[in-house]
Structure 1
């Protein structure tokens, strides 16, 4: 059985910016909880709750990021490389859960609007925009290269947008006494959280279930590979994400002749080149077969 390991050099993701974001979010959360109770603003408390969930999510993301860097061992042959996918899944799920709770609270409050201290709401929402905006900005580059960091970035970005919404609500309450807008803003924040969280939840679920990556076509890959394998055909194929930047491919190669190991290695080398350069697949395992009686379908249930 032949194996290949190709390492892609790209942007290095570190946990430093995540640590800064955690500190800033703790400060925002405490300020908004105190301010929400003093002012009576549900939208401010909902933003604080969202921020608190973000603190937990960011800590989880940082822990998973550190964990993923641990080396493989005899007990953990893949290491902890899937830890970040799991963290991203949990973070996406918390976005949706928090959103459902906010919808319930907003509907309850809408029928009984309360007088709210809008001045405090305005100043604390400005603080939220500043801190969350800065946190999202320093994580943006990492988010482009890492699904775990993307989940953290989405939490922070939605926090910033939520603070913008709270600011608008605070201004409307201050100058027009539209206190019912507090519930409307809360409902808007919740819907936005569901939209943002669902996409990430869907993509991480597919990775955890070892589904074929959406941007790759098994049939196209096989067609390309059969150009180099000739009469030798591939079957029993699996293609999955180990994590968000490492793709694994495995297949059986049915050889028409009882070829030597060196000839087989030559074929595998060509397969590796196609997979790496055309499809960015970083790890390949090919099992040779000759005259073996089994299904020759591309996809076979194990």
Structure 2
């Protein structure tokens, strides 16, 4: 008996699980709008303070804030795009726009890191006198505003929002470092502290930027999502009574926190369509509890041509089918 070829529980066939929240949650676009304008204020304050005080650490932080404005602006735009519904040309909707924004954010942070390190090298060669008071005032404004913004959105799961939050918390840490550096300079007149702080800020930026870029690339390459154990997923499907084998398995993310799976399963030959539907519901239930909310499963009997491999290269799949 040939089983029904394709099943996708995301379209509502009387199932007990409603996964609308998996694909249609609304991101905090209004919060990003507020963050954009408050970060603009931070930039103005730190640029003025950096120029008056001659502090590279403060100007470095202002450079970081400049990328924050671009980052938050991109995130704000992406969040609005994600609210658009799916259509014939974009069947998954616009969720990937947030991943693209996160990738651009991470790349700009890496570039700004290079600029900070270059400027710091020059200051090590020839330290400049710094005025600590303006460092305190400007960095204090940046610290308070970034803590307010970053802590207010720290629980968001969207990678796009996370990337923007990292910008904010990174700026808060950098501002705190500038204040500490200002105190040291005020007491000791040791002006080389300023470029040292700049290097530490650059390393902080680079570490977070690399994580953002890597996570974004994995999603865009449709790699197995973070937190999903591929082999455990396959083993869980095989544990469903009536399933003989599973192959052509693909697990990926539409965007951060929105995981999808497609696969082919070989079912026992002597069963009705109703029996096969019970098996499908069992698989969906198990996968949902493993963090996979959008599932497409092709059911087959043992006579259907297939390769036993759990993986399937696109060219091989195309050739077989």
Unaligned runs of 5+ in 1: none
Aligned mates of 2:243, 2:129 — CA distance in 1: 78
Which aligned segments of 4 or more residues in structure 1 are displaced greater than 3 angstroms? 8-13, 258-263
Aligned mates of 2:215, 2:79 — CA distance in 1: 18
Q: Is the 8 A contact 1:2 1:265 kept in 2?
A: no
- State the superposition RMSD in angstroms: 1.8
Q: Is the 8 A contact 1:96 1:193 kept in 2?
A: yes
Q: Choose 87-96 or 222-231, whichever is displaced more.
A: 222-231
Q: Paired residue for 2:210?
A: 198
Q: Paired residue for 1:297?
A: 309
Q: Shift of residue 13 of structure 1?
A: 3.5
Q: Shift of residue 55 of structure 1?
A: 0.6
Q: Paired residue for 1:157?
A: 169
Aligned mates of 2:83, 2:60 — CA distance in 1: 35
How many residue pairs match? The answer is 299
1:58-73 matches, cutoff 5 A: 58-73=72-87
Q: Paired residue for 1:280?
A: 291
Aligned mates of 1:37, 1:85 — CA distance in 2: 35
Q: Paired residue for 1:102?
A: 116
Q: Paired residue for 2:186?
A: 174
Distance 1:231 1:188, change over 3 A: closer
TM-score under structure 2 length normalisation:
0.88
Secondary structure, counterpart of 2:239 in structure 1: helix
Aligned mates of 2:128, 2:175 — CA distance in 1: 20
Aligned mates of 1:13, 1:214 — CA distance in 2: 20
Q: Paired residue for 1:90?
A: 104
Q: Choose 2-11 or 113-122, whichever is displaced more.
A: 2-11
TM-score under structure 1 length normalisation:
0.93
Q: Paired residue for 2:8?
A: 3
Aligned mates of 1:197, 1:229 — CA distance in 2: 45
Aligned mates of 2:191, 2:121 — CA distance in 1: 14
Secondary structure, counterpart of 1:53 in structure 2: helix
Q: Paired residue for 1:78?
A: 92
199, 214, 224: which one aligns with 1:187: 199
Aligned mates of 1:12, 1:176 — CA distance in 2: 51
Q: Choose 65-74 or 214-223, whichever is displaced more.
A: 214-223
Give CA deviations for 1:69-101 in whole Å, capped at 9, x if unaligned: 100001111110111122122212222221122
Unaligned runs of 5+ in 2: 1-5, 11-17, 315-321
Aligned mates of 2:306, 2:155 — CA distance in 1: 47
Q: Is the 8 A contact 1:236 1:251 kept in 2?
A: yes
Q: Paired residue for 2:319?
A: none
Aligned mates of 2:306, 2:26 — CA distance in 1: 44
Secondary structure, counterpart of 1:237 in structure 2: strand
Q: Paired residue for 1:26?
A: 40
Aligned mates of 1:127, 1:183 — CA distance in 2: 21
1:107-146 matches, cutoff 5 A: 107-142=121-156, 145-146=157-158
Give CA deviations for 1:98-130 in whole Å, capped at 9, x if unaligned: 112211111121110111222211211111111
Q: Choose 91-100 or 56-65, whichever is displaced more.
A: 91-100
Q: Shift of residue 200 of structure 1?
A: 2.2
